[in-house]
Amino acid sequence: MQPTDIRDPDYFHKVVDCQWACPAHTPVPEYIRLISARRYADAYMINWKSNVFPGVLGRTCDRPCEPACRRGRVDEEPVAICRLKRVAADYKGDVSSRMPPKPAARNGRRIALVGAGPASLTVARDLAPLGYELTLFDGDRRGGGMIRSQIPKFRLPEEVIDEEVGYILDLGIETRFGTRVDSLKGLLAEGFDAVFVGSGAPRGRDLDLPGRQEASENIHIGIDWLASVSFGHVEKIGRRVIVLGGGNTAMDCCRSSRRLGGEDVKVVVRSGFDEMKASPWEKQDALNEDIPILNYLVPKEFLHEDGRLVGMMFEKVAARIDADGRRHLEATGEPDVRIDADDVLIAVGQQNSFPWIERDIGLEFDRSGMPIVSEVTHRSTRENVFFGGDAAFGPKNIIWAVAHGHQAAISIHKLCEGEDVEARPPPMVTLTSQKMGIHEWSYDNDVSNDLRFRVPHQDKAIALRDIRSEVELGYDDALAFKEAQRCLNCDIQTVFTDKLCIECDACVDICPVDCISFVDNGPEAELRQRLTAPAHNLTQALYVSNALKTGRVMAKDEDVCLHCGLCAERCPTGAWDMQGTLIDMAQAGTEKVLACSRH
Amino acid sequence: MSFLPKPRMHHPDLHTNALGLTRRDYEGAISTLCAGCGHDSISAAIVRACFELDIEPHRVAKLSGIGCTSKTPTYFLGASHGFNSVHGRMPSVLTGANLANHDLIYLGVSGDGDSASIGFGQFAHSIRRGVNMTYIVENNGVYGLTKGQFSATSDKGAKSKRGVVNSDEAIDMVSIALQLGATFVARSFSGDKVQLVPLIQAALRHKGAAFIDCISPCVAFNNHDGSTKSYDYVREHNSAMNYLDVITGRDEIVVDYAPGTTEIVTQHDGSTLQLRKLSQDYDVHDRVAAIAFLAERHAAGDIPTGLIYVDPEADDLHGYLHTSPTPLNALTDSELCPGSAALEKLNASLR
Ligand SMILES: Cc1cc2nc3c(=O)[nH]c(=O)nc-3n(C[C@H](O)[C@H](O)[C@H](O)COP(=O)(O)OP(=O)(O)OC[C@H]3O[C@@H](n4cnc5c(N)ncnc54)[C@H](O)[C@@H]3O)c2cc1C
Ligand SMILES: Cc1ncc(C[n+]2csc(CCOP(=O)(O)OP(=O)(O)O)c2C)c(N)n1
Ligand code: SF4
Ligand code: SF4
Ligand code: SF4
Ligand SMILES: [Mg+2]
């Protein structure tokens, strides 16, 4: 193998599994250490810079970081990265003075943002301090997009949305709330330098089955119904409710129903339990609220009597593996199942729709009706129109909307500065030795043996009585500290200097997880088999040195390193050092700031 | 030197042995020796050897004297019996313990200071009596613990860290052990676990006095230019004569080396040593030739390592003394005091 090039900014970034997996590349271990130090406001601001909505995301994020977390590979469960983010938000105190000021002067560039969801708000947050004049349109009366209209208040209290949307609007943004944009052509004619489309995926899929029309009074599209609940237009539902669908929207529908009079609420899903799209924790929360999830039932018919819905018929299916190994559902031939109900909520998927975008303005759509958008620059085929969030590539989640927003802001800024939009700014990576003494590091290298701590929940009876009563109460200060201690500090890197190594084996002997080997070099696939512990996880890199004095190389499997620093403590020559990596992703305008600070 | 305990977390694929234990279960407290000390590597080799041999930790007694070396039993086999004796007295304490209970596996760990100076006589007598034990000298050529004075194994002409040249002749522990009748003799290097681990395994399975001289660089006081026990010097002059594979009942013997390069040695307890020879004409069963060979190689400036001598049919102290098959410490009052009639008979036989 070729020696590893640790100057490649991605090399050590990938070792920080959580940060690499986070679409916005939040410096997770850095904020977790600040939580351990009870520096909540500092932890909050690190998050705010990267992901813009720490209080919202600390309660609702899809948390792709957690399945990636290294702790999950050496312990039963990953660090509760998401809920620690909430801790930073809960205990930060007043951070208004840390927010960027309204810019003193404008730069004369006007940008329109369609939709006030997390994608547009992120663009606004990144561009406002640079002096842009931003106009934010939304058909709704308040900002937040689906964060406000869809996510039930028992998961995300209104005050948290108000606060974090407020920090952005306070940067001096012109809002045109209650104004639906019905023509992109018209908007462009108003002379904006660029338009960002963050209009989401606003249409819920319907089910065209017998009885749909006749019983329509008591059949509701999930996301429309949730919006009506959020805005207070719906306050009740029938006693017996069927929720169709296995995603997170279905979970929000059933749990909301339980709080609005639904006593007998069932979720009915075509697929098996494990194949459901909902996150495991969302399913668990529904089960905890006595909502059965019935699998392998395909909806067949809405039953109605005298123009009123009385129930539904379902066909029983089973999963079969066909000849070419694909899974599919097959009717079992058993009798159909009837479930009685007073109301049905359909939560079987979400779609994009762009009726307000003309097809003759140089903005191309593909065959499925989606705009053609670059995944890197977020630019459409029209030079000054950009897409992000659910509007760009179909429904995803908040943190992806934020990540898109950052990238689109970079593109818009480059466009307005006359720079090449395709040339993307690299991240800033700094490495700093953590050594303070022979066995003293400036980070806490003791590895906690604790299992993941549960977040305390509101008493169920109280929670089900009021749809605004938040179910999760959040970690208190002491639990937060203990959970934060579970983090393995993956951003404190093991850095090897081959010239200093005397091949004494001290690091090999001390490493608790057998990461390090001194071996003859060879092709990667073969080398991986010959290590102290064979390196089977191909998604994790091998760190390979130049040839040492004996002709062998040092090969370290990054997979399960605990970043405990013992290799560096036991190294007599300092060939191993623990170095903190700060990976600062570029945002709009940071290149300029860097260029200036270098002069 | 770390103040923190080694994390309990381990590699998810960590194997268990026939007893259901992992290698980590054979570790001890975290070492307080200098970072990079060869002794820590030897501890790691002992851990591996015992894990791979499926040895029950409570069946091992580890004994030592005084010195950095002699501190190491704290850092391996945390669940075994241990005794830290006064300086140079490990061999007699071990001999006594072995006499009282021959059911345990005895592992003596000592330094070149502990065994070649103050304990030289003790070392000699335990070997010549054939005490059933594994005796490892972790040889760094200095008194590490007392800050690096030359020890009796330091080569004549070797330079101390401060530039003083050693004018005394060195004691070669391996040659002495051969002369004194050790029935298993080996030399190895802390930096070569591929060689060292099987040698420790073979010694642990050997019946009789097994002696291993393991060169173990002292990074604090004897790892400089001019030292003949530094990592660099030993790597340069190490001439490995053979490598071993130890095969116990569970594994199949597969010999896939060119004829003449491999020798199979079956020990008393049935374990098999598969010897991969690098020096073709060297005979591991010829004690006299071994002594001459060592003297020759030493004169040529080489450090020969590997299995130097083995007598697979050796007996031990208990055999020579015809002690009872039941360990002495397990004999009951009725066996120890068979009564006045038996005493009378014994007295009569001596009249
Ligand atoms: C029930 C439900 C629960 C969810 N729960 C979570 C969760 O827990 N965690 C998570 O990460 N994600 C969740 N999501 C997904 C998440 O809400 C979205 O992915 C995210 O809000 C998308 O952000 P966005 O900025 O692209 O657009 P959106 O948040 O969808 O905002 C788009 C906004 O644009 C406005 N708009 C649309 N067209 C126009 C127009 N022509 N003119 C003016 N305004 C317009 C809309 O009114 C809306 O306010 C959930 C989604 C649903 C449906
Ligand atoms: C009776 C007695 N004499 C002298 C000493 C001082 N002393 C302590 S350790 C040591 C030498 C240890 O050398 P060695 O056995 O080679 O161990 P190392 O530290 O080199 O591993 C000496 C002389 C002592 N502790 N007790
Ligand atoms: S242990 Fe900490 S730093 Fe490592 S992946 Fe998990 S949260 Fe991130
Ligand atoms: S920091 Fe060093 S000793 Fe600790 S787990 Fe990683 S490689 Fe092993
Ligand atoms: S002084 Fe020498 S022998 Fe003692 S611990 Fe340090 S390196 Fe090892
Ligand atoms: Mg010594």
- Find out whether A168 and A119 touch, Cβ atoms under 8 Å: no
pLDDT reported for residue A595: 42
Residue partners of A477: CB distance under 8 A and separation at least 6: A38, A91
Residue B275 has pLDDT above 90, yes or no: no
Is residue A473 within 8 Å of residue A457, measured between CB atoms? yes
Residue closest via CA to ligand 1's atom 12 equals: A397
The pLDDT, as a whole number, for residue B67 is 98
Q: Which residues pair with A111 in a beta bridge?
A: A134, A194
pLDDT beneath 50, residues of chain A = 593-599
The string of pLDDT tens digits covering residues A375-392 is 999 999 999 999 999 999
Residue type, A554: M
Identify the closest residue of chain A to B6 by CA–CA distance: A512
Highest mean pLDDT among A368-382, B3-17, B273-287: A368-382
Sign (positive/negative) of CA torsion A289, A295, A301, A303? negative
pLDDT at A597: 41
Kindly list the structural domains of chain A, giving each domain's residue range(s) and its CATH number in brackets, ordered by start.
110-202+352-416 (3.50.50.60), 204-348 (3.50.50.60)
Atom of ligand 2 nearest to the CA of B142: 20
Q: Do B4 and A446 touch (CB under 8 A)?
A: yes
At B253, is the pLDDT very low, low, confident or very high (cuts 50, 70, 90)? low
Question: Is residue A562 within 8 Å of A513, Cβ to Cβ?
Answer: yes
Residues B6, A566: C-beta atoms closer than 8 Å: yes
- Give pLDDT, residue A599: 37
Within 10 angstroms of residue B316's Cβ, the number of other Cβ atoms is 20
Whether A484 contacts A31, CB under 8 Å: no
**3-class DSSP state of B239:** strand
Are B217 and B251 contacting, i.e. CB atoms less than 8 angstroms apart?
A: no
How far is ligand 6, taken at its centre, from the CA of residue B139, in Å?
Answer: 5
A438 has a chain B CB within 8 A of its CB: yes
Q: Does residue A137 line the site of ligand 1, with CB under 6 A?
A: yes
Q: Is residue B215 pLDDT above 80, yes or no?
A: yes
CA A360 to ligand 2 centroid distance, Å: 92
Q: Residues B77-107: pLDDT tens digits?
A: 999 999 999 999 999 999 999 999 999 999 9
The H or E element spanning position B184 is strand B184-189
Domains of chain B, earliest start first = 23-321 (3.40.50.970)
b/e for B254-284, b at 16 or more Cβ within 10 A? eeeeeeeeebebebbeebbbbbebeeeebeb
Residue B249 — pLDDT band, cuts 50, 70, 90?
low
Q: What is the layout of strands, in order, in the sheet containing A240-244?
A: A219-221, A343-346, A240-244, A264-268, A293-294
Return mean pLDDT, chain B.
94
Position B2 confidence tier, pLDDT thresholds 50, 70, 90: low
pLDDT average, residue stretch B145-159? 97
Candidates A439, A562, A570; nearest CB to B7: A562
Half-sphere exposure of A484 (CA within 13 A, CB side): 28
Q: A550: how many CB neighbours lie within 10 A of its CB?
A: 14
Task: Quote the pLDDT of residue B248.
Answer: 80
Residues with CB under 6 A from ligand 2: B 66-69, 87, 111-114, 118, 138, 140, 142-146, 151
DSSP-derived letter for residue B278 is S
Residue B115 has pLDDT above 50, yes or no: yes
Of B91, B222, B235, B213, which is closest to residue B151 (Cα–Cα)? B222
pLDDT beyond 90 at B261: no
B212 Cα to the center of ligand 2, angstroms: 19
Ligand 4 pocket test target in A17, A513, A570, A577 with most atoms within 8 Å of CB: A513
> How far, in Å, CA of A177 to CA of A39, rounded?
36
Radius of gyration of chain B (CA): 21
Of all ligands present, the nearest one to the C-alpha of A560 is 4
pLDDT at B258: 62
| Tens-place pLDDT, residues B119-137 | 999 999 999 999 999 999 9
How do strand A542-544 and strand A492-496 relate by DSSP bridges? unpaired
End-to-end CA distance of chain A: 39
Looking at the DSSP assignment, which residues form a beta bridge with residue A397? none
Instruction: Tell me if A75 sits within 8 A of B12, measured CB to CB.
Output: no
CB contact under 8 A, A503 and B231: yes
Kindly state the tokens that stand for A375.
């995944």
